[in-house]
Amino acid sequence: MEARVRFDVITLFPDHFPNLMALGVVGRALNKGIFELHCWNPRDFTEDVHRTVDDRPYGGGPGMVMLAEPLVKTLEAVRQVRGTSDAAPLVFLTPHGPLLTQTHIRGMTTQYPQGCIFLCGRYEGVDQRFIDNYVDQTYCLGDFVLSGGELPVACLLDAWVRLLPGVLNHSESAAQDSFEPEGLGKGLLDCPHYTRPEVFENNTVPDVLLSGNHAKIAGWRFEKSKEFTKRYRPDLLKKGLDN
């Protein structure tokens, strides 16, 4: 089966990154060839004996900064393999980008059906000149700090892959998720879910879910989505209801 989407990841840990994508529905999709994953190590594009990819920051201060030149050479190698007709953007997860949302990821799946190239930052950061000249899009996973870009990129890829045809067992599974702009909730949190047994520790499943009345069930789920969103994420409520 020919892969639908190709992801190229520039990372200093090319042997470990695929392990982040090997489990669950994403791992099965990778094994089925629904998408391709290729990792590129900037150390392979250095010319010194130490395979140096970082140096001290100008102006002083703690930490090291990723060098621009190995990253440029790595990106050039990636684009050569992908071909000149491939317009895949270089995406960088950084605190300087907008907060990544499900709407952004939905947009990527349609705007870039051929996939994307991702840069995993490390150390104190990446030489700003590389970012200015080569990075096409930036996003921020959240208001917290991680040791590197591998986990954020893996999160983004997980969210992207599960939207691809044939990845989830049910075609409507993704549309019912929290934050999903295409689903019933229009960006709200998902409703609560229940399964067997009907009674657990003296708590029963809501009667409406046992009624078999699909219209009432849909209405109950929407109301519960609004209730949960108001309780836990009121910032999402107005935006979701406007939709």
Residues 115-135: pLDDT tens digits? 999 999 999 999 999 999 999
With cut-offs at 50, 70 and 90, classify the pLDDT of residue 204.
Answer: very high
Is 177 tagged catalytic?
yes
Is 192 tagged catalytic?
no
What span, in angstroms and rounded, lies between the C-alpha atoms of 235 and 183? Answer: 18
Q: What is the mean pLDDT of residues 26-33?
A: 95
Judge whether 168 lies within some domain: no
- For the chain, how many structural domains are there in total? 2
- Out of 124, 158, 182, 227, the active site residue is 124
- Is the pLDDT higher at 190 or at 43? 43
Judge whether 166 lies within some domain: no
Q: What is the mean pLDDT of residues 96-109?
A: 94
- Nearest Cα to Cα of residue 233 among 123, 62, 144, 102: 102
**Residue 118: helix, strand or coil by DSSP?**
strand
Is 95 tagged catalytic?
yes
We report the CATH number of the domain holding residue 225 as 1.10.1270.20
- Is the same domain home to 99 and 12? yes
- Is the same domain home to 154 and 226? no
DSSP per position, 174-217: GGGSTT-TTSTTTTSPPPP---S-SEETTEE--GGGGS--HHHH
Given a cut of 80, whether residue 2 has pLDDT beyond it is no
- Out of 95, 113, 192, 206, the active site residue is 95
Q: What is the mean pLDDT of residues 172-182?
A: 65
Range of the domain at 200: 174-242
- Is the same domain home to 157 and 179? no
Per-residue pLDDT reduced to its tens digit, 40-77 = 999 999 999 999 999 999 999 999 999 999 999 999 99
